[in-house]
Amino acid sequence: MNYRHAFHAGNFADVVKHVALALSFDRLNVKDTPYRYIDTHAGIGLYDLAGDEAERSPEWQDGVGRVWSAERGAPEAVRAALAPWLNVIRRLNSGVLQHYPGSPVLAAEIMRKGDTLRLCELHPESADLLREAMGRDKRVKIEERDGFEALPAYLPPPERRGLVLIDPPFEAGTSERKRDFDWMLKAAVKAVKRWPVGTYVFWRPIKDVDAVRDFDGELADGLIENGGLAAEKLLVADLWVRKIGPGPLSGAGVVIVNPPFGVAEHLQAVMPWLCELMSQGDGAGWRVERVAEAG
Ligand SMILES: C[S@@+](CC[C@H](N)C(=O)[O-])C[C@H]1O[C@@H](n2cnc3c(N)ncnc32)[C@H](O)[C@@H]1O
């Protein structure tokens, strides 16, 4: 287990994931009834962009760094889509961008007093840092264990409303990546069967277009054909910063099951802007599609 998210925090892939997450929490807040957030691979919660890892691998500069500098000039619809995520980043930083919220801190900042968070982080040192980042927040319970294994017992949550993020490391190496795809697929089918009305966000890298196409196809089959989910309840949002190929990560995105109302439209509005802004060469692109439309 070598993966440390601190080397990648705030990169273009985090931007897409966290914008989609923040929009989802924002929409879940529309109803007064409490909800639960379950994060199977939580990371350390808060990242220091001036820290050693970020300095050695300043991927954030081409992700959140570019958004932070350009956001004021963005069209209104783009600013509206970015607002739930950027408002948190603004609260954590005064002027200079240094503190980047991972998914647990982002969630805790947007969620309300009566909502609850369940976070799994397997790596002991990361779990310690996560506990430190979450402080004494009574809404939060952290478990130092395998998030895939823990997930079934969390479902359905007592609140009967909420969001599950499945964001494994997809460590370098074809077999490790394949393993995370396989585990994610199994976990997804099992989880949605137990709790079909929850919102789920599955993050995946796009290193190999065929592997992602196969994964998305199998996920759709598992959830739609075997799990009874309606095809229009599956939304894909992907962005690639250059032509997809070998070398550093060029593309990534999320599959969202049961996206809250309005999330798809906000993503449609923001993705072309993010794509142009974060592009790193020829062949950059994006897509936001309902699986029903993708066919
Ligand atoms: C991609 S990072 C998580 C990033 C975080 N969700 C965010 O958006 O800020 C993946 C994390 O999963 C942890 N991890 C790896 N295998 C795990 C497992 N089986 N169960 C729980 N956590 C695991 C790693 O230590 C790493 O911190």
Please, are residues 99 and 90 in contact by the beta-carbon 8 Å criterion? no
pLDDT at 171: 84
The answer to whether the CB of 205 is under 6 A from ligand 1 is no
Q: What is the Å distance from ligand 1's center to 72 Cα?
A: 32
The answer to whether the CB of 122 is under 6 A from ligand 1 is yes
The answer to whether the CB of 183 is under 6 A from ligand 1 is no
How far is 30 from 103, CA to CA, in rounded Å? 20
Domain that holds residue 52: 5-294
Which one-letter amino acid corresponds to residue 154?
Y
Ranges in the chain, pLDDT < 70? 1, 292-295
pLDDT at 1: 61
pLDDT at 42: 98
pLDDT at 294: 57
* Paired sense of beta strands 251-257 and 234-240, if any: antiparallel
39 catalytic per annotation: no
pLDDT at 293: 56
pLDDT at 177: 79
Please, are residues 67 and 15 in contact by the beta-carbon 8 Å criterion? yes
pLDDT at 7: 94
Whose Cα sits closest to atom 18 in ligand 1? 146
The DSSP letter of residue 33 is S
- Say how many domains are in the chain: 1
Burial class (CB in 10 A: 0-12, 13-18, 19+), 32: exposed
pLDDT at 178: 86
Q: What is the pTM of this model?
A: 0.97
Out of 26, 39, 167, 180, the active site residue is 167
Q: In whole angstroms, how far apart are CA 84 and each of 29, 107, 116, 149?
A: 11, 10, 19, 31
Q: What is the Å distance from ligand 1's center to 293 Cα?
A: 31
pLDDT at 228: 85
How far is 273 from 267, CA to CA, in rounded Å? 10
Q: Is the peptide bond before 157 cis (omega within 30 degrees of 0)?
A: no
pLDDT at 213: 93
pLDDT at 58: 96
CATH number of the domain at 108, please: 3.40.50.150
The answer to whether the CB of 10 is under 6 A from ligand 1 is no
